[in-house]
Chains A and B, each alone.
Chain A
Amino acid sequence: GIQVEQSPPDLILQEGANSTLRCNFSDSVNNLQWFHQNPWGQLINLFYIPSGTKQNGRLSATTVATERYSLLYISSSQTTDSGVYFCAVEPLYFSDSWGKFQFGAGTQVVVTP
């Protein structure tokens, strides 16, 4: 099956700092989403981004599908950005994988005041 690798596994930031999270995947994808799991465990949709670039406030994401990676940018980080960031992909070529997201292991982000 498709492999999804996220880096770094852990990140400690001072409030106000910028950071980049990376998601590499081993095969072509139909779909790619970024989620934020907050300290209460809720999975919050950040971006649906199978290709291209999107921005939402202080967050932005870029997926280069041909090179099989996606980046999530956090600018001017705040303590509320703490949590785990997951990348999830849906493989393109395997019909028995359609609809089946494969999640990465996540990046644990801690933003300190």
Chain B
Amino acid sequence: DAGVIQSPRHEVTEMGQEVTLRCKPISGHDYLFWYRQTMMRGLELLIYFNNNVPIDDSGMPEDRFSAKMPNASFSTLKIQPSEPRDSAVYFCASSWGHQNTEAFFGQGTRLTVV
């Protein structure tokens, strides 16, 4: 398996624009996680899905952020409108099951909002 695949690797956008980040989990994994990494807050969980259903979105910072998982092999994280403080590295991770299982991370998307 190619692992968790994220796209794009880098994104530079202007404030106010819509940004969509994409993730393809490892085949067979039923849990998908979106994390954000910043210098100030470290790695923090934004939202996670089980079998394509959002389970906990308490980490989503505000209504400008939304995430979807239309099928088992694809998820998106959308920011609309984007702001400079959204600049961060966004990671997607997947695992099989939620207890006593190993999570694997994608390479991340480095987002810069100017």
Contacts and interface: CB of A to CB of B under 8 A. Distances in A.
Interface of A: 30-31, 33, 35, 41-43, 45, 48, 50, 86, 88, 90, 96, 98-101, 103-106
Contact of A96 (B56, B103, B107): B56
A42 B108 contact: yes
Interface stretch (B17-25, B72-80, B94-102): B94-102
Interface string B21-34: 00000000001010
A41 B89 contact: yes
Contact of B108 (A43, A88, A100): A43
Interface residues of B, number: 24
Contacts of A105: 42
A106 B108 contact: no
Given A98-B99, A99-B98, A43 B42 contact: no
A102 B103 CA distance: 12
Interface string B42-61: 11110010100001100000
B102 A100 contact: no
A86 B98 CA distance: 20
B104 interface: yes
Interface in B77-114: 89, 91, 95, 98-105, 107-108, 110
Contacts of A45: 102, 104-105
Given A33-B102, A103-B43, 20 more contacts: A31-B101, A33-B103, A35-B105, A41-B89, A41-B108, A43-B91, A43-B105, A43-B108, A45-B104, A48-B102, A50-B100, A98-B99, A99-B50, A99-B55, A99-B56, A100-B45, A100-B48, A101-B33, A103-B42, A106-B42
Contact of B99 (A30, A41, A48, A88): A30
Contacts of B50: 99
